[in-house]
Structure 1
């Protein structure tokens, strides 16, 4: 059974968890996000099953008790109580229940089954491309300013804790004057998890604050600020080109981040269910275009995650089918049972770790804010 759920997203950092303090989340935005991403993922599996003449017994959005369902032809279509997943059930996918009928899953050649498993992640990337292209076409191409003026502050990062605000002009870093954003960034990047003295101008006042940098994904020092942006209207073709670039960038970024984690024996930065809800909720409150762009990012993450060679995921199935194609040998039901058990254990482990990471961020963020208040650091 092909399933999709909100297990964990590699590379998604859930910064501040302020929504737990402010009260409530945008439930509609969360359900819309995962409803769209998961439905299209499962629809990818479903449509290819139909194309290669595999009988589909069930196509469900959500898990748990059925709320609404209809049977058309041989397929039961249903909406279930928990809208954080979904599944497609091809006939004969359980090898122990297969009868050998021509329209069953394992009766089809390995390359048909390979096409079925790749269809889900492919639909995620198609969705991401369409959403990225739409946002870029409507809002325009972002062009960052090189003025050392803060245009955005990432929540939960050192700059926010230190009290920096949007519109502050950075004057110097560790006594070195800065007149351009790139020079300022280079000075901060050079200090990884070290304290820097940042002098800035706010209105008519000049202030200095000491900030300990965080370690960025590229192993450089960061404090969580970005420059202001201007947007230039562009055509549909260039929007599509930039959207494809975004899909490639975020996939490559995730691969490099994971490779760096493995190489340096560091824990990956994961967002679990709590973190993902937080991210989506904040994007919904930031504006419609931010939410749509974030849905694209989540779709890329879901597509990439499902391609990992983990049993039960699409990538795990793909490895088995490619092995079958190379050797001419199908895996036995006993091997499938062992592999699936391993997959369940791995996925539960990832979910537990991601949830632990979410909770740890809440505690860390709370401690940082409390320490800043005690030390007299200005608060945002």
Structure 2
């Protein structure tokens, strides 16, 4: 059992790591490609184009004289240009060095990286919307007693049609709409439709708790809303070999009707019963060929689940009714090319605006910085999106590309925005800041970025531990 868990965890790690490398390879290549292309167009000589940092894995010098490198650490990249501040430059090459370029050219070269990220986001969103982005219709599930949602009069089964006047068709759009209110105590107007009478009403959600105030809590959890999914009955569709279920004599087509004497009907009830039951002996009552049988089962330890989650080794039998209900919830957001491009522009703008709001709210402490994700969290999300399909992965690439483009515009030395800040001062003063001041700024910026990276990684480790 332990070896099976280790194998499963290892495969998940490899898949997520590969997804992260693929994601960063795309985003970083386009970002650095922006610097590279504009530098060459403006007459600045490029010496090296590297994807990744650290030890060189692959290197080839092209006919253009540029060394193209793939390095061992795939968490970034760089374009090295001819620069008198970094080494000797021959007299004939001086006109092609970066430091000799006008401040306008240097601004264009540095700004080209983030702009390339925004263009990439538009292109991948455009492609995804033409392919079709699968989603789930936003039907309300269980409404928590005493929650913000219940006080607003929301009821299970209603369909969300708009949030604050913005139409929504999927839960992903709902999540993005709620993200605009992170860190706020305000009211949100939600339009919902009764699926039977097709009547619509507007319910006002009065936030008594800030969305994002509790680290790791989703907006839906804050509001007391669960996503509706068809209930899976407890018929057994598969019993894995050498598992607690197989050893106890559970068979395919058995129907579980009770757990330790308590009647249960649906799969979530079984999952709830298994909580904190790892390595304990329980009694399952199953219906087999019209007869009830009581079976003693020594539970194992659940894979990738909450601590002490009991493990049986079974999968549910999916009946036709469940499939039909699930199909009715599926939504495919697909547009013809012109409208897809329009939607891509809107999506890019929304993620950019959301990035600004998030940074502002973290700095004002309206949102906990513990919500920041590092490479582990991004890798997990990349792996999950790629598992769903190409269009979902493209959407995630677009979101990360907008985020990286935005973060690189922040006026922090070391980042592109820090360089642009220095060049802006140079434009105003008519001369650059002294190299000593710029060097001190770079060191401060490096400390800030490393501290932020370590903090985000700590958040990842804390979430994995939880």
Say if 1:30 and 1:277, in contact at 8 Å, map to a contact too: yes
Say if 1:173 and 1:187, in contact at 8 Å, map to a contact too: no
Say if 1:122 and 1:303, in contact at 8 Å, map to a contact too: yes
1:103 pairs with one of 96, 101, 104: 96
1:254 aligned onto 2:355: yes
Aligned counterparts of 1:106 and 1:197: Cα–Cα separation in 2: 56
Aligned counterparts of 2:456 and 2:138: Cα–Cα separation in 1: 36
Instruction: Go from structure 1 to structure 2 and tell me whether the alpha carbon gap of 1:126 and 1:177 turns closer, same or farther (over 3 Å shift).
Output: closer
1:24 aligned onto 2:24: no
Q: SS of the counterpart of 1:234? A: coil
Q: SS of the counterpart of 1:351? A: helix
Displacement of 1:24 in angstroms is 2.7
Matching residue of 1:358: 460
Say if 2:133 and 2:391, in contact at 8 Å, map to a contact too: no
Aligned counterparts of 2:117 and 2:363: Cα–Cα separation in 1: 26
Say if 1:55 and 1:104, in contact at 8 Å, map to a contact too: yes
Matching residue of 2:35: 45
- Provide the TM-score with structure 2 as the length reference: 0.59
Say if 2:115 and 2:405, in contact at 8 Å, map to a contact too: yes
Aligned counterparts of 2:387 and 2:402: Cα–Cα separation in 1: 22
Say if 2:152 and 2:203, in contact at 8 Å, map to a contact too: no
Q: SS of the counterpart of 2:357? A: helix
Matching residue of 2:113: 120
Q: Which has the larger radius of gyration?
A: 2
Aligned counterparts of 1:203 and 1:174: Cα–Cα separation in 2: 29
Matches within 5 A, 1:237-316: 237-264=338-365, 266-268=367-369, 269-316=371-418
Aligned counterparts of 1:59 and 1:197: Cα–Cα separation in 2: 48
Aligned counterparts of 2:400 and 2:464: Cα–Cα separation in 1: 21
Matching residue of 2:312: none
- Provide the TM-score with structure 1 as the length reference: 0.71
Q: What are structure 1's unaligned runs of at least 5 residues? A: 1-18, 151-158, 163-171, 210-226, 367-380
1:69 aligned onto 2:59: yes
Matching residue of 2:158: 180
* 1:33-83 CA distance string (max 9 Å, x none): 111110111111001110111111111122222222222344222222223
Matching residue of 1:223: none
Displacement of 1:147 in angstroms is 4.2
1:58 aligned onto 2:41: no
Instruction: Go from structure 1 to structure 2 and tell me whether the alpha carbon gap of 1:73 and 1:197 turns closer, same or farther (over 3 Å shift).
Output: closer
Aligned counterparts of 1:233 and 1:175: Cα–Cα separation in 2: 33
Say if 1:174 and 1:197, in contact at 8 Å, map to a contact too: no
Query: RMSD of aligned C-alpha atoms?
Result: 3.5
Matches within 5 A, 1:210-249: 228=329, 230-231=331-332, 233-249=334-350
* 1:62-121 CA distance string (max 9 Å, x none): 222222222234422222222332110111163676678111111011010000111111
Say if 1:145 and 1:228, in contact at 8 Å, map to a contact too: yes
Instruction: Go from structure 1 to structure 2 and tell me whether the alpha carbon gap of 1:298 and 1:108 turns closer, same or farther (over 3 Å shift).
Output: same
Say if 1:95 and 1:333, in contact at 8 Å, map to a contact too: no
Q: SS of the counterpart of 1:277? A: helix
Displacement of 1:261 in angstroms is 2.3
Instruction: Go from structure 1 to structure 2 and tell me whether the alpha carbon gap of 1:360 and 1:95 turns closer, same or farther (over 3 Å shift).
Output: same
Matching residue of 2:302: none
Say if 2:140 and 2:227, in contact at 8 Å, map to a contact too: no
Higher relative contact order (CA 8 A, sep 6+): 1
Instruction: Go from structure 1 to structure 2 and tell me whether the alpha carbon gap of 1:133 and 1:198 turns closer, same or farther (over 3 Å shift).
Output: closer
Instruction: Go from structure 1 to structure 2 and tell me whether the alpha carbon gap of 1:133 and 1:196 turns closer, same or farther (over 3 Å shift).
Output: closer
* 1:232-262 CA distance string (max 9 Å, x none): 5421111001001010001111211222222
Aligned counterparts of 2:138 and 2:457: Cα–Cα separation in 1: 38
Q: SS of the counterpart of 2:85? A: coil
Matching residue of 1:135: 128
Q: How many residues align?
A: 309
Q: SS of the counterpart of 1:173? A: helix
Aligned counterparts of 1:199 and 1:36: Cα–Cα separation in 2: 33
Matching residue of 1:320: 422
Instruction: Go from structure 1 to structure 2 and tell me whether the alpha carbon gap of 1:173 and 1:57 turns closer, same or farther (over 3 Å shift).
Output: same
Aligned counterparts of 2:441 and 2:150: Cα–Cα separation in 1: 54
Aligned counterparts of 2:79 and 2:460: Cα–Cα separation in 1: 30
Say if 1:271 and 1:358, in contact at 8 Å, map to a contact too: yes
Matches within 5 A, 1:330-345: 330-345=432-447
